[in-house]
Structure 1
Amino acid sequence: MSAPVVTPQLTQQSPIKLLTTKSYYAPELRPLEFKYTEVPGTLAGEEFVLDHGGPACHVVFDGMKCPLRKLHFHAPSEHRIDGVISELELHLVHEILEYPDAYPSAYLIVGVMLSLAPAKAGPAQPLGPWLRGHFDARAGGRQEHRVDPTIYLPQDRAYFRYEGSRTTGEHEEVVTWTLLRDPMQVKGPAPLLLDPETDRLVQPLMRRYVLRNFALIA
């Protein structure tokens, strides 16, 4: 009698809850080296997709040069850090060129929790129109949008790391997630209308570990 066919259960899904006290300090984790510069791109809904390929705007991750491909926003945040839900979560999506031959993940996604600076009074806007106003203001009247992603990075780059999945599409488990611990404040054209139904639900951690590159202060 042949053995039954077993369908593997998905065990590395994202997003998750990150708890500092239940994560593990891993001093061997190297700092991320952000080699960002101002780049042109196309704004489509909740995504800013870089126009040009290549490693000009990239991050050095474990010695690998990983080009930035797009900026993807969620309102509110999908991940929770120590129980906090942020108004915005930015995903800086990088391609890992060494996948699959030398590295098991296809993407390095750097997550940044964003809070909003006080905006002008008025009706709250959904994420798409809000981002259009945000990028239009930064364009300074120019037709094309350009962005230097460093404006979204906090000064302290301490982070959590875990292995997970994309939070859109087919939820493929091919992502190394790096979530920056500290939030960053950004300006917008109006109050932002949060819509939790557009976010993916928090997923179970299963048999994974969350690492961090910073020690706790006693």
Structure 2
Amino acid sequence: MKRLVLASLLACASLTAFAGDGAHWTYSGAEGPDQWAKLSADNFACSSGKNQSPVDVSGTIQAALKPLKMEYQAGGNEVLNNGHTLQVGFAPGSALWLDGERFELKQYHFHAPSENLIAGVSYPLEVHLVHADKDGNLAVVAVMFKEGAENKALKALWPQLPKEAGAKAALATPLSAAALLPTKRAYYRFSGSLTTPPCSEGVRWLVMKSPVTVSKEQVSSFAELIHHPNNRPVQPRNGRPILN
């Protein structure tokens, strides 16, 4: 498991588009989510894991969670269209503090429609901020976007997105992940996994309760670049608590 978590970290850090040993995967058909575990031995958790993500965030437990400590700098310096999503890579310097440990922000990427649900509600867009501590343990901050006013942070990013799968572009001005966060930082917390192969577990998930807005046109622009929905279906909870 440790090897898989570290492999997942390397995948996040290097902006790769492939699972484990290089097996190609998709969001539908013969290489879709129901088949991921069959594509590579490294993907065994995609079918046998008991703490898989995404989930329907509901039936939560009151736990007086501590406020999140985020130290985000303008370190987003490149964006990749990997055929699965659009992903912004970060230079070292931005971090989330959680459970007394520092988790470095490696990248953020988008899913349309949202992967996680909140009380059964799907959102048109979701961003995942992927962090790793010094031992390779992962923590993901998820933010939901609801349809409404144009999102200012995406307005700066969207024109720079590469149109071809496999293309990477340097950003004209470094971006900060703080611009994607809601004003109110209350969140849900649960233990989960990567939502893409190899579906490694042990990921600390922090889903913001408050959504931010995104225009219909911005969601459409993202969809036109990816060409398909890029959300893994909701996975069984298997008795996992979700704290709030």
Give the TM-score normalised by the residue count of structure 1.
0.73
Q: Deviations over 1:31-71 (max 9, x none)?
A: 11111111142111211111x2x3x2111112211110001
CA–CA separation in structure 2 for the residues paired with 1:205 and 1:143 = 38
Higher CA-based Rg: 1
Partner secondary structure for residue 30 of structure 1: coil
The aligned counterpart of 1:155 is: 183
4+ residue runs over 3 A deviation: 116-119, 130-133, 186-191, 193-197
Q: Is 1:114 equivalent to 2:145 in the alignment? A: yes
Match of residue 49, structure 1, among 84, 89, 109 = 89
User: For 1:4-153, what aligned pairs fall within 5 Å after superposition?
Assistant: 9-19=48-58, 22-27=59-64, 29-45=65-81, 46-50=86-90, 52=91, 54=92, 56-99=93-136, 106-118=137-149, 134=158, 136=160, 144-153=172-181
CA–CA separation in structure 2 for the residues paired with 1:161 and 1:180 = 9
- Asked whether the equivalents of residues 96 and 104 of structure 2 are also in contact (C-alpha less than 8 Å), the reply is yes
What is the total number of aligned residue pairs between the two structures? 180
Q: Structure 1 residues 209, 43: closer, same or farther in 2, change over 3 A?
A: same
Per the TM alignment, residue 115 of structure 1 is displaced from its structure 2 partner at its CA by 2.5
The aligned counterpart of 1:124 is: none
**One-letter code of the match for 2:158?**
H
Between Structure 1 and Structure 2, the one with more helix by share is 2
Q: Deviations over 1:63-112 (max 9, x none)?
A: 2111100011001100000121111100000002245xxxxxx1000000
Task: Give the % identical residues.
Answer: 28
Per the TM alignment, residue 185 of structure 1 is displaced from its structure 2 partner at its CA by 1.6
CA–CA separation in structure 2 for the residues paired with 1:132 and 1:118 = 15
The aligned counterpart of 1:102 is: none
Partner secondary structure for residue 106 of structure 2: strand
Q: Which runs of no fewer than 5 residues in structure 2 stay unpaired?
A: 1-43, 162-169
Give the TM-score normalised by the residue count of structure 2.
0.66
* Root mean square deviation, CA, Å: 2.8
- Asked whether the equivalents of residues 76 and 196 of structure 1 are also in contact (C-alpha less than 8 Å), the reply is no
Q: Is 1:164 equivalent to 2:192 in the alignment? A: yes
- Asked whether the equivalents of residues 87 and 114 of structure 1 are also in contact (C-alpha less than 8 Å), the reply is yes
Q: Structure 1 residues 135, 159: closer, same or farther in 2, change over 3 A?
A: farther
- Asked whether the equivalents of residues 77 and 171 of structure 2 are also in contact (C-alpha less than 8 Å), the reply is no
Q: Structure 1 residues 190, 88: closer, same or farther in 2, change over 3 A?
A: closer
Higher mean Cα deviation, 146-155 or 159-168?
146-155
Q: Structure 1 residues 203, 144: closer, same or farther in 2, change over 3 A?
A: same
